[in-house]
């Protein structure tokens, strides 16, 4: 959420940012929120003046009563009563106007980083760099669920009967591989200095609206009926929520955390929950990383975070590339975002396996995550998040890139300790 003071002083810049995100329907919100903010501040000033006047009169009443001037004191007392009614009306008006301002401000997108390429949607994202040589084997690479089924590693039919499309049973060595990747990713991040955390898998609505836009919330989150709780779509939600309404010592920053969780997503509006595939599903597990830092350090951490994912995938012999997300592909709270995509030998193209985001102070402003700096001066922290690894989507890349002609799967050296020393699944 943008600072209202910044918007007041730079309305044209905010409008230009909205245009860069191809959200012209939101342009009118800038003028509307400025008008409401002016009214809100005017009402607040009236209330403050009335409050100060009441306090002054109250002291006069005490003095008059002490002098025995009861009649004059009672007259002023009646005036205070009338002003109390006026003050209550002003306070209610101020509260209503303030709520309207907040509602609109939460719809206006965050100011994007100057490095973000301008484009309408993900088709205009820009490739930055490739890591590893993409290989297409001289044998046909089957669809990922065919590979798994041949190894007795997945049961989609039973899952469909139990829960519907978008769910799965992982079995045997494939299930073990899934867990091995998660455990390896956990230790990989711990070795890079991140603190391991297992967070709550449900969060309250005030945390949901603090970490994402309304559009994301509607398309992703499952609500627990009858309770103010939502299933998390990623552990980033509860990990950032951990710092809600806190004042953090500047010398203790950055907080670098890596978290495990199951993730639950409605995937509303997604075209085709694949009946046979596990690329886009309602339930999966993920290892995540988040950083809470000083504003001047967020760009540096952004580069560190996506590099962690690249290094992890390369350690498992999977070629990857990075894509800078264009302006139109950025969620409203994001300042900048970079996708990591893995090579698919079957499709002969890359596909997304992780996303790194710098949210500036957007989440911190909504959740009141503040930092006490020099002279105890308070300011909002910056927050970042990135996918370490998200099986089973990552398993697609792993199986295709480590598949042998006979249908067996090579286990890279880094994963073997987590697979009981196995070098091959077959």
Q: Determine which one of 186, 213, 235, 265 is catalytic.
A: 265
pLDDT at 9: 95
What residue ranges define each of the domains in the chain, with the CATH number in brackets?
4-105 (1.10.287.40), 122-425 (3.30.930.10)
Is 366's pLDDT higher than 60? Answer: yes
Active-site annotation holds for 370: no
pLDDT at 410: 96
What pLDDT does 74 receive?
Answer: 62
The whole-number average pLDDT for the span 199-206 is 96
User: Residue 58 pLDDT > 70, yes or no?
Assistant: no
Q: Which of 22-26, 48-52, 167-171 has the lowest mean pLDDT?
A: 48-52
pLDDT at 241: 97
Question: What pLDDT score does 278 carry?
Answer: 85
Of 321, 365, 370, 393, catalytic: 393
The overall average pLDDT reported for the chain is: 91
The residue annotated as part of the active site, out of 213, 235, 344, 355, is 355
pLDDT tens-digit profile of 26-37?
A: 999 999 999 999
pLDDT at position 108 is: 96
> Which entry of 160, 280, 314, 416 is annotated as an active-site residue?
280
Q: pLDDT tens digits, residue range 388-422? A: 999 888 999 999 999 999 999 999 999 999 999 99
At 310-353, the pLDDT tens digits run 999 999 999 999 999 999 999 999 999 999 999 999 999 999 99
Q: What pLDDT is attached to residue 44? A: 87
Across 20-55, b (16+ Cβ under 10 Å) vs e yields: bbebeebeebbeebbebbeebbebbeebeebeeebe
Give the mean pLDDT of 12-38: 96
What's the pTM?
A: 0.89
267 is catalytic: no
Which residue do the tokens 């930092």 mark?
A: 371
Are the beta carbons of 258 and 230 closer than 8 angstroms?
no
Whole-number Å distance between alpha carbons of 39 and 94: 8
Tokens describing residue 370: 């503040």
Q: Is 280 a catalytic residue?
A: yes
- What is the predicted pLDDT for the residue at 77? 62
How many contiguous H segments (helices) and E segments (strands) does the chain have? 13, 18
b or e along 181-195 (b: 16 or more beta carbons within 10 Å of the residue's beta carbon)?
bbbbbbebbeebebe
For residues 228 and 214, the model is more confident at 228
Please tell me the predicted confidence (pLDDT) of residue 35: 95
**Position 24 pLDDT exceeds 70:** yes
Query: Average pLDDT, stretch 141-169?
Result: 93
Residue 222: C-alpha distances to residues 233, 260, 283, 385 (Å): 8, 19, 11, 21
Is residue 314 part of the annotated active site? The answer reads no
Q: What is the mean pLDDT of residues 126-145?
A: 95
Tell me which residue of 364, 354, 240, 362 sits closest to 290, measured CA to CA: 240
Residue 9 is among the residues annotated as catalytic for this protein: no
Question: Which residue in the list 130, 205, 352, 416 is annotated as catalytic?
Answer: 352
Residues 246-278 pLDDT 10s? 999 999 999 999 999 999 998 765 544 455 688
Question: Tokens standing for 118?
Answer: 């301008």
Mean of the pLDDT values across residues 19-23? 97
- Residue 271 pLDDT: 46
**3-state DSSP assignment of residue 366:** helix
The pLDDT value given to residue 332: 93
């Amino acid at each position: 959420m943008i600072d209202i003071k910044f918007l007041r002083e730079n309305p044209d810049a905010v409008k230009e940012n909205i245009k860069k995100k191809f959200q012209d329907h939101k342009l009118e919100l800038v003028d509307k929120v400025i008008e409401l903010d002016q009214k809100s501040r005017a009402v607040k000033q009236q209330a403050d003046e009335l409050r100060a006047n009441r306090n002054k009169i109250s002291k006069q009443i005490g003095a008059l009563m002490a002098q025995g001037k009861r009649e004059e004191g009672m007259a002023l007392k009646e005036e205070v009563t009338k002003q109390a009614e006026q003050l209550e009306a002003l306070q209610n008006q101020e509260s209503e106007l303030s709520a309207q301002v907040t509602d609109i401000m939460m719809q206006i997108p965050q100011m994007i980083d100057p490095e973000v390429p301008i484009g309408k949607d993900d088709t205009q994202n820009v490739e930055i760099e490739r890591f590893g040589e993409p290989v297409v084997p001289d044998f046909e690479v089957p669809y990922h669920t065919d590979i798994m089924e041949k190894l007795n590693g997945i049961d989609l039919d039973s899952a469909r009967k139990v829960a519907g499309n978008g769910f799965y049973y992982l079995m045997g060595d494939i299930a073990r591989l899934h867990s091995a990747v998660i455990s390896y990713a956990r230790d990989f991040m711990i070795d890079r200095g991140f603190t391991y955390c297992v967070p709550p898998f449900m969060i309250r609505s005030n945390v949901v609206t603090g970490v994402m836009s309304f559009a994301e919330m509607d398309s992703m989150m499952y609500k627990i009926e009858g309770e103010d709780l939502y299933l998390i779509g990623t552990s980033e939600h509860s990990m950032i929520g951990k710092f809600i309404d806190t004042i953090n010592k500047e010398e203790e920053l950055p907080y670098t955390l890596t978290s495990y969780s199951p993730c639950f997503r409605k995937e509303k509006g997604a075209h085709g929950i694949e009946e046979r595939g596990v690329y886009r599903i309602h339930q999966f597990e993920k290892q995540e990383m988040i950083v809470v830092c000083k504003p001047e350090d967020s760009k540096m951490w952004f580069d560190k975070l996506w590099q962690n994912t690249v290094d992890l995938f390369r350690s498992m012999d999977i070629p990857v590339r990075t894509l800078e997300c264009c302006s139109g592909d950025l969620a409203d709270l994001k300042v900048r975002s970079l996708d990591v995509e893995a090579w698919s030998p079957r499709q002969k193209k890359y596909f997304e396996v992780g996303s790194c985001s710098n949210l500036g102070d957007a989440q911190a402003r909504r959740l009141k995550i503040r930092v006490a700096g020099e002279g105890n001066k308070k300011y909002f922290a910056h927050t970042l998040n990135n996918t370490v690894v998200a099986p089973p989507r990552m398993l697609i890349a792993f199986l295709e890139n480590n598949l042998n002609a006979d249908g067996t799967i090579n286990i890279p050296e880094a994963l073997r300790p987590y697979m009981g020393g196995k070098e091959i699944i077959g």
